[in-house]
Structure 1
Amino acid sequence: MTVTYTYRVADARLGTFSQLLLRWKGSIYKLLYCEFLIFVSFYFSISLIYRFTLDENQRLMFEKLALYCNSYAELIPVSFVLGFYVTLVVSRWWGQYESIPWPDRIMNLVSSSVDGKDEYGRLLRRTLMRYTNLLNVLILRSVSTAVFKRFPSIEHVVTAGLMTPEEHKKFDSLNSLHNKFWIPCVWFSNLAVKARNDGRIRDSVLLQGILNEMNTLRSQCGRLYGYDWISIPLVYTQVVTIAVYSFFLACLIGRQFLDPAKKYPGHEMDLYVPVFTFLQFFFYAGWLKVSSKERKWISRISHHGISFFLHSQEGAKKVIRSNPLLVQDASEAETTRWWQSPYCKREPALFHVQSWGRGQEGRCLKGACKWDMLHPLHQLQLLPLHSIPPGAFPPDRLQYPEVSTVLFLKRH
């Protein structure tokens, strides 16, 4: 889980970034403390055995083994292997985030391009956006465990109002062994073309803009599905895990403090606690742990056990064969449970007022002052700025001298 902390370092004062080291939630300490305690316990157990249990001949053999492990442990390319792996995982992690389909742009296009203030015009716009949301749900339930728990079956999607029973029958009538998340894209395109033929969309340029945006969403969904389908090769994970674990297994013996009286190179002092070895464990094991957590953000091991090329070809054949049938059988716009206005009866008489600035209480939340109030409409009095008399508000209560009051009105 990503923990937000930017508001705590917004002022960049002395010691601000140092305070982040004391946070527990989302920290490297919380992520790594179990492995670190195991490593420390093994290290000091071996140290106690060397100091108090072994006889002189056994100590001599252990010291030779420690010198051998310490000299050859550095030959393991931990930095190179781990850096390559973490770069690959982080790039996939950010690419998955950038591939999430956001419906805001297509919502603006549909709202501004599909005309009609009558009931059918409203139904047309809502149906187009319902198909967009249906596309998002179908792809996200395929790649995210959390969304799949919310919609474990298509029946739950129908119950949620994102798909009508008639659309459910058409969806199930298309037999395919592969994911059918792209079907709402076809329904959306057919309905948009029908709206253009009926004159609901003014010209073909607006229609092309809507369809291009839908194709962009379809591409994002395809990339998201590809990230889930094609995971990082298992060999990469095995190589980096073996490299990190074998390095620290060698460090358990090679980084022991030996008897200073024997004057081994690099063992002139007996400090008991290998501080820099523990720091190395934090760096290397921490990066390995972070990369494993980032892989679990949205990707999971795919259940498809066939090759990439054959799977893509079969999916393309299904799309080519099914598109003519879907074009001839375009879905009609229908009402769902979301057709009615979500607002209550008394809501039009209320407005949601948000004001930002310094109030009498002066309470600030995360660097900004905010009050949320509900007032009846007849109690609100909005005055032009020039009609407000000078000195009506104390100067120290104003964030900007030239603006006396800023009110944002919106429905709650």
Structure 2
Amino acid sequence: MVVSYASKIYTKDRLFFLKLLFRWTGSVWEMLWVDYIFFVTAYVILAVIYHQALANHEHRMITFEAVVRWLSKIRTSVPLSFMLGFFVSTVFSRWWSTCMAIPWLSSMSFYTQALVESTHPVKSDIARKIRITILRYSNLSWILMMATISQQIKDRFGFNQPLKAKKSRPFRRHDSCCDSRDRNDSTDGNKNSKKPEFELTWRERLDLINLDEKVRKHFGRLVTAEEVETFARSAELSQSTDLTYSPEYWLPLAWATRLIKRSRMLGLIAEERELLFLVEMINKFRGDLGTVWSYTEFNVPLVYTQVAVAAVYLFLFSTLLSTQLIRPEMVRQVTMAPAAESINETQSSVIDTVLGVELLAYFPILGSLEFIFYLGEV
């Protein structure tokens, strides 16, 4: 989940990095706390088994220590940092490209306001209606596209509300629209394909868009009855049902292009290059929507995702054992006690060191850092 946090964290404040690190919403802590509890629990269980259950079984304890040493040597042989760097770079570049491809409706408003105009009173009113219609088509196209990929847009217009009637009537296709080759390709070639079903029929979805408060305030309605029938004819040609048909997002933009051409014929667009500029702008708008759809439809190859996830989880699994504090390591930690002037101070220092080592033996400090850094990137 991407959240906005820059406005709430000021770099001029002292210790601002603490606010950044311990912010909860959208943070790595919120994402990993359940997994981290399982990780620490598994580490503690293994530590208890080694230090308590195997204390009277010397042979098994030696075997456990040998496994720990072996894993600590080989677990860094896999270039996990390089692999994750490639994977994270790919995912982030796709996410950023998707954000940059989302078109802004304000640009369409600026250019149509500047180029579609007339000084004649009658034509001025026609130009105003054409501008509103072009923006209406642009908004409709944007909503139709985003509703197919964004859960927030579906919730915004109520597309996920319970369906009253599940039955749908299949459309009949006109055989005269396509030749026999097209009909064979659309039927025989897709026998095993299954179209996704929506919770609401496409007509109900369009009605919900028209019933939106802001739509009624600014446009009255985004889809007229004549335009609904145009979508119905498109559904017939695609052999879809009321629940499987999704209105094409590019169709309103085709209507807008035709409306721009009509504006030129009526003299509402002064020059031919202005006509071409508006058509190119609509084409870019459609291309940006298509880019967003492509990034959603075509994911990162599953092989890359599987390799990255499997490598991280196998590494963390080996970390559970390789970071265990075994007997030779504990003895080494105890013998590193600082020098003291008297025997009492030396004994006290050794006792404190032993207690600290015992505490470290049951909590994965280094393993926790590796868990957060590596799993947080996946």
2:159 is the alignment partner of 1:91: no
Task: Kindly provide the amino acid, as one letter, of the partner of residue 157 in structure 1.
Answer: L
What's the CA shift string for 1:77-102, capped at 9, x where partnerless?
A: 22111111111111111111111121
Aligned to 2:258: 190
> Which residue number in structure 1 is paired with residue 238 of structure 2?
176
Residue 17 (structure 1) shift: 2.3
Of 59, 62, 65, which residue of structure 2 is paired with 1:63? 65
Instruction: Tell me whether 1:275 sits opposite 2:337 in the alignment.
Output: no
Amino acid at match of 1:47: A
Please provide the CA RMSD for this pair. 2.3
The separation in 2 between residues aligned to 1:106 and 1:260, in whole angstroms, is: 71
Paired residue type of 1:217? F
Q: 2:311, 2:284 → 1: CA distance?
A: 41
Equivalent residue, structure 2, for 1:370? none
How do 1:93-172 residues align onto structure 2 when only pairs under 5 Å count? Answer: 93-116=95-118, 118-149=124-155, 150=157, 151=159, 153-155=201-203, 156-159=205-208, 160=210, 161-172=221-232
- How far does residue 56 in structure 1 lie from its aligned partner after superposition? 1.2
Q: In the TM superposition, what are the counterparts of 1:241-256 in structure 2 within 5 Å?
A: 241-256=309-324
The answer to whether the Cα contact below 8 Å between 2:98 and 2:292 also exists between their aligned partners in 1 is yes
Query: Contact 1:143–1:225 (CA<8 Å) still a contact in 2?
Result: yes
Q: Secondary structure at the match of 2:13?
A: coil
| Aligned residue type for 1:45 | I
Cα distance, 1:148 vs structure 2: 3.3
Per-residue displacement from partner, 1:337-395 (whole Å, max 9, x unpaired)? xxxxxxxxxxxxxxxxxxxxxxxxxxxxxxxxxxxxxxxxxxxxxxxxxxxxxxxxxxx
Q: State the match for 2:41 in structure 1.
A: 41
Q: C-alpha displacement at 1:11, in angstroms?
A: 4.9
**Whole-Å Cα distance in 1 between the matches of residues 371 and 285 of structure 2?**
43
Q: Does the Cα contact within 8 Å between 2:43 and 2:364 map onto a contact in 1?
A: no
Q: How many angstroms apart in 2 are the aligned matches of 1:194 and 1:82? A: 54
Specify the alignment match of 1:294 in structure 2: none
* Equivalent residues of 1:132, 1:185 under 8 A apart: yes
Tell me the equivalent position of 1:211. 279
Consecutive unaligned residues of structure 1, counting only runs of 5 or more, are 289-412
Is the 1:114–1:201 Cα contact (8 Å) retained in structure 2?
A: yes
- Stretch of structure 1 that moved more, 217-226 or 159-168: 159-168
1:286 corresponds in structure 2 to 376
Q: CA deviation at 1:22?
A: 2.4
What's the TM-score once normalised by structure 2's chain length? Answer: 0.71
Alpha-carbon distance between aligned partners in 2 of 1:48 and 1:5, rounded to the nearest angstrom = 41
Counterpart code for 2:225: P
Amino acid in the other structure paired with 1:83:
G
Q: What secondary structure does 1:125 align onto?
A: helix
Q: 2:9 touches 2:19 (CA, 8 Å); kept in 1?
A: no
Moved over 6 A (4+): 261-265
Q: Distance in 1 between matches of 2:32 and 2:325?
A: 25
TM-score by length of 1: 0.65
1:10, distance to aligned residue in structure 2 (A)? 3.5
User: Offset of 1:253 from its aligned partner?
Assistant: 1.1
- What do the CA deviations read for 1:229-278 (whole angstroms, capped 9, x no partner)? 2111111111011100001111111111001389799x988432332221
Q: Deviations over 1:38-90 (max 9, x none)?
A: 10000011000101101111101111111111111111222111111111111
CA contact (8 A) 2:320 2:367 kept: no
2:67 maps to a residue whose letter is L
8 Å contact 1:24–1:30 — kept in the other structure?
yes
Counterpart residue type for residue 146 of structure 1: Q
Partner of 1:199: 267
> 1:108–1:262: structure 2 CA closer, same or farther, 3 Å change rule?
closer
1:229 has 2:286 as partner: no
Question: Displacement of 1:143 after TM fit?
Answer: 1.6
Whether 1:15 and 2:15 are equivalent positions in the alignment is: yes
- Is contact 1:158-1:164 (8 Å) kept? no
Greater mean alpha carbon deviation, residues 138-147 or residues 101-110: 138-147
C-alpha distance in structure 1 between counterparts of 2:291 and 2:2, whole Å: 22
Question: What amino acid does structure 2 have at the position aligned with 1:89?
Answer: V
In the aligned structure 2, how far is the partner of 1:2 from the partner of 1:225? 19
SS at 2:148's partner residue?
A: helix
Aligned counterpart, 2:342 = none
Q: Is the 8 A contact 1:158 1:165 kept in 2?
A: no
Distance 1:93 1:252, change over 3 A: same
AA in 2 matched with 1:126: I
Q: Distance in 1 between matches of 2:135 and 2:14?
A: 49
How many residue pairs are counted as aligned between the two chains?
287
Instruction: Work out whether residues 110 and 125 of structure 1, in 8 Å CA contact, stay in contact via their aligned partners in 2.
Output: yes
Q: Sort the Cα spacing of 1:38 and 1:261 in 2 relative to 1 into closer, same or farther, 3 A.
A: closer
Q: Looking at both structures, which has the greater relative contact order when contacts are Cα pairs under 8 Å and sequence separation is at least 6?
A: 2
Q: Bigger CA drift: 5-14 or 17-26? A: 5-14
Identity %: 30
Equivalent-residue separation in structure 1 for 2:116 and 2:20 (angstroms): 50
- Who is 1:302 aligned against? none
> In structure 1, the residue corresponding to 2:325 is in which secondary structure?
coil
